[in-house]
Amino acid sequence: MRMDSARAVFFTDLDGTLLDSESYEPSREAVAMVADMAARGIATVPVTSKTAAEVRRLEAVVTIAPVAVVEGGAVLLIPEGGPVLLGPPRSRLLAVLDALRRAGHAVRGLSEMDVEEVAERTALTVEAVQRVMERLASEPFVFLEEPSASELDRLRSLTESSGISLARGDRFWHLAGAEVDKGRGVQAVLDRYPHLTALPAGAVGDAWNDLPMLCRVAHRYLLGSIVADRELTCRVERIPEPGPAGFVEACRRFLAALGWS
Ligand SMILES: [Mg+2]
């Protein structure tokens, strides 16, 4: 669908939301729901930690909008041109990750892992892993040991002093520019296509890094229970079921809220 014909916009996380967190595929019901929404003029805009290569593959599977926010808000994909970086390039982030390691934090970045290790950590095929590794402005990493709250505080102040932010997704933590999060990614979409700001907007996600995205829109759906109530930064509608089943329920509620169901 074309963005200028959209009548509403629905921002969605992918892993653990539109896509099953194990198979990384949408359910048949979710594919049908996105198609139905597209037919009604609702643009389903991915806002994801995934890469451009991964979202492009998905375009053949489900009728998502031609616009997407990838790499956790660090990159905007538009049909009119090449990727737009919304934060510092990956080389800067790798330097910060190196500084964290030198400060004694047991972190391991995606760039240090070979394809086999990433395949093992994510249960993805080698081909899919190659798409994960094509990044422009973000660096996922893991802790080799679960960090204590005080280690996290130290790590946060180290990254912040370098102008870098830390976000937690469902499998990886992510480094990106301090001005980068999914909420600012949503804002970049609205800035690029200003007519969308007047349209009804909803968002759905399942993890901590989705909260800034949810808090930018009027209709907010949070799936599953990995985010505790005390961690919420705005009021959300909770849907217990994670993954595509929860996604479909969020779409139903959005349609009902618009009076389009
Ligand atoms: Mg997720």
What is the distance in A from the centroid of ligand 1 to the CA of 14? 6
Q: What is the pLDDT of residue 155?
A: 92
Per DSSP, the residues of 55-112 read HHHHHTTS---S-EEEGGGTEEE-TTSS-EE-S--HHHHHHHHHHHHHTT--EEEGGG
Ligand 1 centroid–CA 47 distance in Å is 10
CA 150 – ligand 1 centroid, Å: 25
pLDDT of residue 15: 93
Question: What's the 170 CA to ligand 1 centre distance in angstroms?
Answer: 6
Dist. CA 173 → ligand 1 center (Å): 12
Q: Are 218 and 202 in contact (CB under 8 A)?
A: yes
Q: What distance in angstroms lies between residue 171's CA and the mean position of ligand 1's atoms? A: 9
Is the per-residue pLDDT at 169 higher than 80? Answer: no
176 alpha carbon – ligand 1 mean position (Å):
17
| Distance (Å) from CA 29 to ligand 1 centroid | 18
Question: How, if at all, do strands 201-205 and 219-223 pair?
Answer: parallel
Mean per-residue pLDDT, 191-208: 96
The string of pLDDT tens digits covering residues 80-115 is 999 999 999 999 999 999 999 999 999 999 999 999
* 248 alpha carbon – ligand 1 mean position (Å): 15
Determine contact, residues 11/43, Cβ cutoff 8 Å: no
Sign of CA dihedral 124, 128, 132, 133: positive
Give the other-Cβ count within 10 Å of 222's Cβ: 26
Instruction: Give every CB contact of residue 43 below 8 A, 6+ residues apart in sequence.
Output: 1, 3, 6, 8, 9, 10, 65, 67, 196
pLDDT of 124 > 90? The answer is no
Please tell me the distance between residue 168's alpha carbon and the centre of ligand 1 in angstroms.
Answer: 10
For 125: left if phi > 0, alpha if psi spans -120 to 50, otherwise beta; the answer is beta
Kindly report the pTM of this predicted structure: 0.90
Domains in the chain with CATH codes: 3-85+181-258 (3.40.50.1000), 90-177 (3.30.980.20)
